[in-house]
Structure 1
């Protein structure tokens, strides 16, 4: 509840939150604004996209484990948004220790580092693919794979030869 109240304070600026089926453990978050110098912001203007819709699902042991976060719409490609809408960001991994023993703060997740991960993407405009919804199953599989990759190489881009 505290996290929801904290993030509600950001609502006037660029974000709004809705509970999914009135559950405090499942949120839909609308990002109404991203960096106005980014190509994603340009894409949003050109496609009349009002917001980027994210979903956060919180585990029972939050704030000591991060929520699972993914992009729902629009379909983004490139950058740090991967198959299924999974987001490649170390802060979202379970191996990152809780900040100062107090756990993860959701407001902190929406800092510039997180927004950087999103604004590197583009709104998909490919016929057929742009209308296809991201799936949670695909996002979870992609995220699990990227965590394995980063556990092996650290949080750097692995060699292309490794896929």
Structure 2
């Protein structure tokens, strides 16, 4: 992982923002720089690379999942060393959730929707709190993949950003209308 050299560049490589409130952008940048440094120094199950040296878009490689899971079994069988996630941070982060999606491999189940979008309440405006760290989000995504019995798809299709965004919008509308179902305590 070459994150240290990228994080040093990120301070100058951040795109000029045109948000109405420059203080919010400053909060976003400081928070992401701190999170990136913490992950670089402490994370053991995943690594982070900035996409095109952009502090506001990350590729996260989830290297470790429960070794007894269907997902880990499929990763071993297909010689896949990580699940690639894409995380983009809106202008009002950390007051709004990042958009997170699975990029590769194609995963079925595990709360993964069309395009790789994720059906997790904490990634929606109603379930989000600024106290969530990126490490906590990645941990929750990994847990959801396992709890939802995610498997590596065997077909040749690919996830797309457009499909993921459409799935996410539909998810938000559905849960705003019907709420979130809480599983019985016996299921965790």
What TM-score, normalized to structure 2? Answer: 0.74
Q: CA deviation at 1:97?
A: 4.6
Which residue of structure 2 aligns with residue 7 of structure 1?
Answer: 39
Which residue of structure 1 aligns with residue 54 of structure 2?
Answer: 23
Which structure has more helix as a fraction of its residues?
A: 2
Q: Distance in 2 between matches of 1:33 and 1:27?
A: 18
The structure with more radius of gyration: 2
Which residue of structure 1 aligns with residue 173 of structure 2?
Answer: 148
Seen in structure 2, the aligned counterparts of structure 1 residues 4 and 149 have a Cα distance that, compared at 3 Å, is: same
Q: Distance in 2 between matches of 1:84 and 1:104?
A: 24
Q: Distance in 1 between matches of 2:51 and 2:87?
A: 10
Q: CA deviation at 1:64?
A: 0.7
Which residue of structure 1 aligns with residue 111 of structure 2?
Answer: 80
Q: Indicate yes or no: 2:62 matched with 1:37.
A: no
SS class of match (2:165): helix
Unaligned runs of 5+ in 2: 1-32, 183-188
2:157 equivalent among 117, 132, 157? 132
Q: Distance in 2 between matches of 1:152 and 1:10?
A: 39
Which residue of structure 2 aligns with residue 160 of structure 1?
Answer: none
SS class of match (2:177): helix
Q: Which runs of 4+ in 1 moved over 6 A?
A: none
Q: CA deviation at 1:98?
A: 2.1
What TM-score, normalized to structure 1? Answer: 0.84
Instruction: Select the structure with the greater relative contact order (CA < 8 A; seq sep ≥ 6).
Output: 1
Q: CA deviation at 1:133?
A: 1.9
Root mean square deviation of aligned Cα: 1.6
C-alpha offsets along residues 13-41 of structure 1, whole Å, 9 cap, x if unaligned? 21010000101000000011101121100
SS class of match (2:111): coil
Which residue of structure 1 aligns with residue 16 of structure 2?
Answer: none
Q: Distance in 2 between matches of 1:97 and 1:39?
A: 29
Which residue of structure 2 aligns with residue 121 of structure 1?
Answer: 150
Unaligned runs of 5+ in 1: 158-163
